[in-house]
Amino acid sequence: MSKSYHPGLFVKPDFTHLVIGMLVFGALWGMSEVALGGILGTIGFPYRAGLLTGIGMGILALAYAIYRNATMLLGIGLVAAAVNLLGVPILHLTIMCKANSLIAIGAEVTSLSVMVAILMRKSGGNVYLRMACGGAAAILASVGFYLIGTHVAPCQYLSTFANTGAFVVKEGLVWAAFAAIFVPLGYIAGEKLSARFPAVNRGRTIAYYAGVSGIFIVSIAVSSLAVVAGL
């Protein structure tokens, strides 16, 4: 068990608390995909997909460290996917325009949930095991993304790869490198957040509800502005 985790501060969250967590962390993940992803694409950052994968999995690890509930990670993914679809009502885009983003989110959240069940719960304070969890989840996500993407949304970039192995070597390993960094960082941040602000796991206060509401609203607002700006 890591030194930063204080089991006495953890209280099993109720349903309302889990839903709030899904909305807040899903909105943050969605904002990173829409706003940061748009900026990285505009400047031509070569490892855009890898960085976004790492950040997304880091956010999921942070949420898991706080709530200790692997199932809620899927809910976070659904919220992030909904944020990615803001372009549909705002710019009247078709859902297929965002197909690859949705597939990536689905692959990432599913693979990390699997790895959490297999490795993360047994990691204790072993940062290397958490790194392995993130890296393995990213590799698994890249495989799922390629296999699904080539059938659902076979874009020009995916068509340049001869097979799954080629995609994993060029993209999956990069995703894994970023995830191996961000997953343990997110987990540590979640532990420290729980220890520093007991209201996250214990009693709810006005400040708590104001804070989570503010984060959600700002995340949706920034994502919407990014969509309008064409990012």
The per-residue pLDDT for range 95-131, each reduced to its tens digit, is: 888 888 899 999 999 999 988 888 766 666 788 899 9
Whole-number pLDDT of residue 154: 73
- Enclosing domain of residue 210: 12-228
Share of the chain above pLDDT 90, in %: 59
Question: What's the domain count of the chain?
Answer: 1
In a domain, 7, yes or no: no
Whether 121 is covered by a domain: the verdict is yes
pLDDT value of residue 122: 67
User: Average of pLDDT values for 137-165?
Assistant: 89
Per-residue pLDDT, averaged over 149-173, amounts to 88
162 and 121 Cβ atoms separated by less than 8 Å:
no
In a domain, 6, yes or no: no
CATH number for 189: 1.10.1760
For 112, the enclosing helix (H) or strand (E) is helix 99-118
The arithmetic mean of pLDDT across residues 25-29, rounded, is 97
pTM of the model: 0.88
Residue 71 in domain: yes
pLDDT for residue 198: 61
- For the segment 185-204, what is each residue's pLDDT rounded down to a tens digit? 999 999 888 777 665 555 56
In which band, very low, low, confident or very high, does the pLDDT at 4 lie, cut at 50, 70 and 90? very low
pLDDT reading at 92 higher than 80 = yes
**Burial letters for 40-49: b for 16+ Cβ neighbours within 10 Å, e otherwise?**
beeeeeeebb
Neighbour count for residue 136 (Cβ, 10 Å) = 20
Element (H, E) at 49: helix 48-67
Q: How confident is the model at residue 9 (pLDDT cuts 50, 70, 90)?
A: very low
